[in-house]
Structure 1
Amino acid sequence: MADRPPYPGIPRWVKVSGILAIVLILLVVVLLVTGAGGDHGPGRHSGGGGSTPTTSIPARTP
Structure 2
Amino acid sequence: MTDSPSEPTAGAARDRATAPGAPRWVKVSGAVALAVVVLFLVLHLTGSGVGPGMHGGH
Shorter-normalised TM range: 0.5 to 0.7
Counterpart for residue 21 of structure 1:
33
Percentage identity across aligned positions?
A: 45
Larger helix proportion, structure 1 or 2?
2
Q: CA RMSD in A?
A: 2.2
- Rg comparison, structure with higher value: 1
CA distance in 2, matches of 1:35, 1:24: 16
**Higher RCO, Cα 8 Å, sep 6+:** 2
Unaligned residue ranges in structure 2 (runs of 5+): 1-14, 54-58
Moved >3 Å (runs of 4+): none
Whether 1:6 and 2:18 are equivalent positions in the alignment is yes
Number of aligned residue pairs: 38
Counterpart for residue 3 of structure 2:
none
